[in-house]
Amino acid sequence: MKIIDGKKISNDKRVEIKERVALLKQQTGNVPGLATILVGKDHASQVYIRSKIKACEDAGIISYHHNLNNNPSRKEIIALINELNANPEIDGILLQLPLPNDEDAQECINAISPLKDVDGLNPFNAGLLNLSKNWDEIIKKNILVSCTPLGVIHLLHESNVIIEGKTAIVIGRSNLVGKPLSMLLLANNATVIMAHSKTKNLKKMCKSADIVIVAIGKPKFVGKEFIKDGATVIDIGINRTTNGLSGDVDFDNVKNMDIAITPVPGGVGPMTITMLLGNTLKAFNNRNGYVRAEIK
CA separation for the pair 272, 155 (Å, rounded): 11
What secondary structure letter does DSSP report for 146? -
All domains of the chain, ordered by start, with CATH? 28-113 (3.40.50.10860), 135-269 (3.40.50.720)
Provide the pLDDT for residue 293: 44
Give the model confidence (pLDDT) of 114-141 as tens digits: 999 999 999 999 999 999 999 999 999 9
What amino acid positions are annotated as catalytic residues? 52, 96, 119
Could you give the CA distance from residue 43 to residue 4 in angstroms, rounded to a whole number? 28
Q: Choose among 277, 272, 218, 279: nearest CA to 249.
A: 218
Looking at residues 83-98, what average pLDDT do you find?
96
Q: State if pTM tops 0.85.
A: yes
Q: How far apart are CA 48 and CA 64, in angstroms?
A: 15
Other residues' Cβ atoms within 10 Å of the Cβ of residue 44: 11
Helix (H) or strand (E) holding 241: strand 239-241
Mark 90-112 as b/e (b = at least 16 C-beta within 10 Å): bbbbbbbbebeeeebbeebbebb
